[in-house]
């Protein structure tokens, strides 16, 4: 732990106490020391993780970074901030406190005690869910690997690295479950999680969005806003799982996740503040000559990231999702607050789809449409975010607004796949779609334009031309704090 006098001591955690054992090689609150075999297996995986981090983690050489590390899982004071060399970050295994009386909240096992072990009949499905979740975590680190080279400020650089180390920890969270509960097969899957890599032709990451390139910081902010938000919603459903160790690990991951979305939402917001200011000052939407990102480019980036993230929910109608629910593996968002029988055998809902060149709707069993149920919650959350962004434009006296594209726009998975739907929800022919797509999705010219603005700004407290500074720093530190010490500092 840091002895840097500026960062102070770790806060005293309040609430139920389950201290993290930092004396161990792998910090944990699962009493790893009490299970030598498991401990040895994970200690065998650790050097491979570190190799992966060195090869495919952040590329920019740094000395240390002002990072938060979990020190406890209680409600308050769970994190400690200090300058640490990134490859010495204490990645560890932290599960939320166990509730000994917890019961299954939904599906056909509803009311039974939560499972502390994996039931044989659900083993394959559960492992699949854990592998898919685990696969996204290192994928995002790989996608963001090069961004440090063009950071708009030291403050933003630190946020990128914070997100990266925590996604690395989320990988640890899933690997722990694989090692602890799935035997040899689980250990093999844990190896594969380090073998696949984002965009690899032979061994790509499992889900589509995690093989796309994160080309620049505007895309990074859109990614943390829209794709990490899928993470929030998926973790929210796994947090309900009857398999208690999965539920508890997801519960703690959600705590970390909040910051990732903060990075995205405030990142885009600061881009808009800057763009709006330049639009007003110069009386034009073409703010590029003044170092800003034009609003229509921001909208096209938004359209892309939102649509690929919508695909992450899977098909609207999914037998898998129904089985996961009935078996107790994956619940709904806020399951405990839903006012129904939590079994859903008779429930129905509306499903929109494309028929005869128009968007139509029909009634379907809810149990088969749970991916859509979750996606609707996600979309509502996203529209709330867009409304907040629009307040920046309104506050600057501008009439322009951002919007979420129609749910059918640019989709590769589900009922809209194979159809051509505009951002405004019109179904059009393929030719027309192609002719107009340049107005809706980032073009090579957009990417070049954005790339031309991506010059690194490594001076403490300074910000690149295209983004406004944040109002406050991290953990009550000033905005101009030395959040990151670059490797080459002092050598120049
Ligand atoms: N790309 O019945 P269907 C995060 C596959 S993000 C490629 O429609 P299902 C994070 C599907 O696997 C959260 N393939 O879907 C964010 C299935 O294949 P199999 C990640 C896709 O099973 C930022 C087949 O198509 N967590 O944490 O109901 C940074 C038919 O599928 C895609 C989770 O996703 C796609 N987009 O649902 C860092 C939670 N969509 O099995 C981290 C765990 C579907 O027939 N995963 N397929 O070979 C799940 O709950 C489900 O697997 C899914 C798919 C919701 C993803
Ligand atoms: Fe994550
Ligand atoms: Fe995240």
Residue with CA nearest ligand 1 atom 21? 207
User: How far is the C-alpha of 121 from the C-alpha of 11, rounded, in Å?
Assistant: 44
Task: Give residue 6's pLDDT.
Answer: 54
Sheet architecture: strand order including 62-70: 79-84, 62-70, 484-486
- What span, in angstroms and rounded, lies between the C-alpha atoms of 360 and 4? 62
Q: Is residue 17 domain-resident?
A: no
Decide: 312 in ligand 1 pocket, CB within 6 A. Answer: yes
The Cβ of residue 49 has, within 10 Å, a number of other Cβ atoms equal to 20
What letters, b where the CB count within 10 A reaches 16 and e where it falls short, cover 257-286? bebbbebbbbbbbbbbbbbbbbbeeeeeee
CATH for 129:
1.10.620.20
Cα 284 to Cα 257: distance, rounded to the nearest angstrom: 37
Residue with the nearest Cα to atom 6 of ligand 1?
A: 231
Helix, strand, coil percent content, the chain, rounded in steps of 5: 50, 10, 40
Q: Which two tokens stand for residue 452?
A: 């031309």
Distance CA 173, CA 374 (A): 23
Q: Provide CB contacts within 8 A for 329, sequence distance 6+.
A: 122, 125, 126, 129, 241, 242, 243
β-pairing, 484-486 vs 62-70, is antiparallel
| pLDDT at position 490 | 61
Residue owning the nearest CA to atom 55 of ligand 1: 313
Q: Specify the pairing of strand 348-355 against strand 62-70.
A: unpaired
Please give the pLDDT value at position 385: 97
- Whether 468 contacts 277, CB under 8 Å: yes
- Decide: helix, strand or coil at residue 129: helix
The DSSP line for 256-289 is HHHHHHHHHHHHHHHHHHHHHHHHHHHT-S--GG
Distance of alpha carbon 258 from the chain centroid = 9
| Angular region, 215: left φ>0, alpha ψ -120 to 50, beta rest | alpha
Q: Which residue, judged by its Cα, is nearest atom 25 of ligand 1?
A: 314
Q: Check: CB of residue 63 under 8 Å from CB of residue 487.
A: yes
Q: Is the CB of 212 under 6 A from ligand 1?
A: no
Q: CB of 167 closer than 6 A to ligand 1?
A: yes
Q: Which helix (H) or strand (E) holds 362?
A: strand 358-365
- Could you give the CA distance from residue 241 to residue 127 in angstroms, rounded to a whole number? 13
Angle between helix 319-327 and 123-143 (nearest 10):
120
Q: Would you list the DSSP string of 387-398?
A: HHHHHHHHHTT-
Does 3 reside within a domain?
A: no
Is 133's C-beta closer than 6 angstroms to any atom of ligand 1? yes
pLDDT reported for residue 19: 64
- pLDDT score for 3: 42
Atom of ligand 1 nearest to the CA of 330: 50
pTM score: 0.95
What integer pLDDT is reported at residue 2 of this predicted model?
Answer: 39
**Mutation to probe ligand 1, out of 262, 314, 322, 413 (largest number of atoms < 8 A from CB):** 314
Beta carbons within 10 angstroms of residue 50's beta carbon: 15
Is the distance from the beta carbon of residue 140 to the nearest atom of ligand 1 less than 6 Å? yes
Q: Give the domain range for residue 56.
A: 32-486
Taking the C-alpha atoms of residue 130 and residue 186, their distance in angstroms, rounded to an integer, is 10
Which bound ligand lies closest to the C-alpha atom of 220? 1
pLDDT attached to residue 142: 98
Distance 170 CA to ligand 2 centre (A): 5
Neighbours of 121 (CB within 10 A): 9
Q: What whole-number distance in Å separates Cα of residue 91 and Cα of residue 85?
A: 12
- What is the domain count for the chain? 1
CA distance 35 to 180: 10
- Regarding the beta carbon of 254 and ligand 1, being less than 6 Å apart is answered no
311 lines ligand 1 (CB under 6 A): yes
Predicted local distance difference test score (pLDDT) of residue 79? 86
Ligand 1 neighbour 46 (Cβ under 6 A):
no
CB 152 less than 6 A from any atom of ligand 1: no
In a domain, 491, yes or no: no
Which helix (H) or strand (E) segment holds residue 448: the answer is helix 444-453
User: In whole angstroms, what is the distance from residue 80 CA to residue 67 CA?
Assistant: 8
- From CA 169, how far away is CA 50, in angstroms rounded? 12
Residues in the chain: 492
Q: Is 10 a member of any domain?
A: no
* CB half-sphere exposure, 76, CA atoms < 13 A: 5
- Residue 23 in any domain: the answer is no
Residue 241 Cβ < 6 Å to ligand 1: no
What does the block give as tokens for 377? 């919650």
Cα distances (angstroms) measured from residue 353 to each of 8, 96, 373:
56, 40, 15
Q: Is residue 445 one of the residues assigned to a domain?
A: yes
Per-residue confidence in pLDDT tens, the chain, 492 aa: 334 455 444 444 444 446 678 778 999 999 999 999 999 999 999 999 999 999 999 999 999 999 999 887 876 678 889 999 999 999 999 999 999 999 999 999 999 999 999 999 999 999 999 999 999 999 999 999 999 999 999 999 999 999 999 999 999 999 999 999 999 999 999 999 999 999 999 999 999 999 998 999 999 999 999 999 999 999 999 999 999 999 999 999 999 999 999 999 999 999 999 999 999 999 999 999 999 999 999 999 999 999 999 999 999 999 999 999 999 999 999 999 999 999 999 999 999 999 999 999 999 999 999 999 999 999 999 999 999 999 999 999 999 999 999 999 999 999 999 999 999 999 999 999 999 999 999 999 999 999 999 999 999 999 999 999 999 999 999 999 999 999 987 654
């Amino acid at each position: 732990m840091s002895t840097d006098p500026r960062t102070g001591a770790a806060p005293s955690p309040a609430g139920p106490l389950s201290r993290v054992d930092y004396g161990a090689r792998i910090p944990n609150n699962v009493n790893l020391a009490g299970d030598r075999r498991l401990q040895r297996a994970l200690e065998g995986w650790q050097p491979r993780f570190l190799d992966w981090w060195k090869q495919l983690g952040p590329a920019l050489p740094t000395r240390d970074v002002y990072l938060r590390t979990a020190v406890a899982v209680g409600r308050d004071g769970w994190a400690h901030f200090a300058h640490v060399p990134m490859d010495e970050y204490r990645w560890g295994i932290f599960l939320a406190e166990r509730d000994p009386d917890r019961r299954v909240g939904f599906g056909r096992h509803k009311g039974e005690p939560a499972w502390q072990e994996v039931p044989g009949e659900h083993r394959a499905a559960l492992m699949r869910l854990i592998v898919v979740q685990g696969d996204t975590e290192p994928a995002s680190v790989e996608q963001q690997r090069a961004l440090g080279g063009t950071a708009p400020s030291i403050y933003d650089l630190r946020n990128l690295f914070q997100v990266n180390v925590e996604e690395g920890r989320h990988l640890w969270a899933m690997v722990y479950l694989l090692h602890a509960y799935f035997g040899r097969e689980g250990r093999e899957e844990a190896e594969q999680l380090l073998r696949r890599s984002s965009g690899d032709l032979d061994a790509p990451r499992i889900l589509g969005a995690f093989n796309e390139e994160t080309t620049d910081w505007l895309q990074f902010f859109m990614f943390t806003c829209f794709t990490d938000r899928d993470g929030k919603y998926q973790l929210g459903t796994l947090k309900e799982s009857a398999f208690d160790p999965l539920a508890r690990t997801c519960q703690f991951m959600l705590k970390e996740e909040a910051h990732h979305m903060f990075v995205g939402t405030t990142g885009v917001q600061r881009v808009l503040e800057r763009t709006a200011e330049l639009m007003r000052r110069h009386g034009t939407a073409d703010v590029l000559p003044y170092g800003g990102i034009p609003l229509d480019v921001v909208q096209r980036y938004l359209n892309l990231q939102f649509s690929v993230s919508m695909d992450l929910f899977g098909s609207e109608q999914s037998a898998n999702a129904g089985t996961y629910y009935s078996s107790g593996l994956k619940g709904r968002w806020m399951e405990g607050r839903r006012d129904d029988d939590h079994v859903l055998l008779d429930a129905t809902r509306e499903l929109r789809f494309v028929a005869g060149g128009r968007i139509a709707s029909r009634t379907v069993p809810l149990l088969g449409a749970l991916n859509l149920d979750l996606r609707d919650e996600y979309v509502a959350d996203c529209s709330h975010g867009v409304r907040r962004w629009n307040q920046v434009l309104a506050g600057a006296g501008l009439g322009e607004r951002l919007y979420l594209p129609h749910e059918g726009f640019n989709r590769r998975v589900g009922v809209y796949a194979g159809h051509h739907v505009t951002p405004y929800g019109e179904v059009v022919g393929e030719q027309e779609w192609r002719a107009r797509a340049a107005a809706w999705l980032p073009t090579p010219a957009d990417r070049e334009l954005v790339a031309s603005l991506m010059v690194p700004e490594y001076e403490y407290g300074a910000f690149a031309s295209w983004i406004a500074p944040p109002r406050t720093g991290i953990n009550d530190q000033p905005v101009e704090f030395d959040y990151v010490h670059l490797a080459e500092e002092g050598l120049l």
